[in-house]
Structure 1
Amino acid sequence: MDKLHLDRHISRQFNAELEMLRTQLLEMGGLVEQQVADAVSAIETGDIALAEKVIDTEEKVDDFEIELDEQATLVLARRQPAASDLRLVLAVTKAIRDLERIGDEAQKVAKMAIALADGGANRRGASELRHIGASVQAMMTQGLDAFARFDAEAALKVVEADESVDREYKTAIRELVTYMMEDPREISRVMNVLWALRALERIGDHVRNVCEHVIYLVRGLDIRHISLDEAEAKIKQK
């Protein structure tokens, strides 16, 4: 595991403000993680009440985003942080946006869960939803853990997992489109499945973004536009 040595300051208040940003980001992440888990469970089980809970939770996620944004802005304005402190504040501000968008996508999954529960018993696409849903839930847990422990290598593993989710998503899309062509009566229902799969794939993308922020925070490396092999080599060199 990597060790991020944040600067220690004469001002205890500054130290407390930095730790508070990190703690509250992880608290927001925990709320969004539960939102994703509930959305996946709702679409697998047809639990409309659980889906509605996911939709209602989005307001709390939005409140978190606003509050954390304000706190980060105040730290930048008052303390003018540098080096690792600055990278932490920037990583938090970027991760906030990705977490809020993950909440948005979880809400979309919940809405599709309600639509599918109302649409009958045909479960075509259920295995794809279950498998990709489990994958992005695992990414979410591992990504937040990587942020909590400032672990660049663990973060890179989540980035690699997103590549796998993208491949699975493309395969699922091809199969479901073929199914709709064979049975046009199922187009409306399967489209709901496709929208849910798209939202799950987007959740994976945003978790990947969070992990890229972790790598930049800990190692000072921007891996957004390089291959995974290059990223792994650079992380091992550090």
Structure 2
Amino acid sequence: MEITSETHSQHISKQFNHELEELKTHLMAMGGQVEKQVQDAIHALLEGDTRLAEEVCDNDQAVNDMQIKIDEECTRVLARRQPAASDLRLVLAVIRATSDLERIGDEASKIARNALALAEAGRGTPKGVIEVRHISEHVRKMVRDALTAFARFDTQLALSVAREDELVDNEYTTAMRSLMTFMMEDPRSISSILSVMWILRALERIGDHADNLAEYVVYLVKGLDIRHIDADKLDEAALKGKG
């Protein structure tokens, strides 16, 4: 059965309805916190704001705690309600999504730590900042759209996130090649460029996790696993979902 945002409010048990809504609400809260972590990490890097970078690192534990809390809630729902069909898909999708959100938080912390390293080196604006700014805009939008798709059970928006991931991967590859050239031309820049490379790698991984979130939306709504389907076939696959 294909589900909509209304599907999980139709149980005889009002308490079960409430528990499922709480799972979604807490997942969205975690998503909002993680999205802010990414935004703050990028801002700290681009503006040289070491205080904000340290704050991002300090807040990583809060994201971890949110994951643990939501996982415990999911475990209780599974044990008490023994959900089936779309209800089970929702609980499983939430469990998977919290794992990817926690990892996005980890990547944001990596960006913040490298921002601190660059600030401590004090060598001015490093090579690759333009690429970082551009790719970061892409991945931040991917995370935001993936969370919106989850909240609305919007498979089309989810599929757009999956397609965006291929663009990010291509931009990442191009940026890394460019930075390798800079290092060969100026060995003195190796240290700072390596930090930028780690930042770009973290951004690329954030894009991958956002793509995973989008795939969970399609699984949740359609009951279809699209993890190993090429992006150019995703529209057709979603339309043929088992529902």
Indicate whether the TM-score tops 0.5.
Answer: yes
Gaps of 5+ in 2: none
Q: Can you list the C-alpha shifts for 1:114-135, whole angstroms capped at 9, x where unaligned?
A: 1111222043111011001111
Kindly indicate whether the alpha-carbon contact (under 8 Å) linking 2:8 and 2:20 is maintained by their aligned counterparts in 1. no
**Runs of 4+ in structure 1 displaced over 4 angstroms?**
none
In structure 2, the partner of 1:135 is 138
Distance 1:208 1:161 in 2: 8
In structure 1, the partner of 2:199 is 196
Task: State the TM-score, normalized to the length of structure 1.
Answer: 0.97
Q: Report the count of equivalent residues.
A: 237
In structure 2, the partner of 1:83 is 85
TM-fit CA distance, 1:221: 1.1
| Secondary structure at 1:118 match in 2 | helix
TM-fit CA distance, 1:138: 0.8
Task: State the TM-score, normalized to the length of structure 2.
Answer: 0.95
Comparing 132-141 with 21-30, greater Cα deviation is found at 132-141
| Secondary structure at 1:105 match in 2 | helix
Kindly indicate whether the alpha-carbon contact (under 8 Å) linking 2:226 and 2:237 is maintained by their aligned counterparts in 1. no
Gaps of 5+ in 1: none
User: Please, which of 161, 165, 182 is the counterpart of residue 164 of structure 2?
Assistant: 161
TM-fit CA distance, 1:76: 0.3
| Secondary structure at 1:221 match in 2 | coil
Amino acid at match of 2:66: F
Kindly indicate whether the alpha-carbon contact (under 8 Å) linking 2:67 and 2:98 is maintained by their aligned counterparts in 1. yes
| Counterpart mapping for 1:1-238 below 5 A | 3-4=4-5, 5-6=7-8, 8-119=10-121, 120-237=123-240
Identity among equivalent positions (%) equals 55
Kindly indicate whether the alpha-carbon contact (under 8 Å) linking 1:7 and 1:85 is maintained by their aligned counterparts in 2. no
Q: Can you list the C-alpha shifts for 1:33-87, whole angstroms capped at 9, x where unaligned?
A: 0000001111111110110111111011011011001000000011000011000
Distance 2:37 2:64 in 1: 13
Amino acid at match of 1:177: M
Note the aligned Cα RMSD (angstroms).
Answer: 1.2
Distance 2:239 2:12 in 1: 34
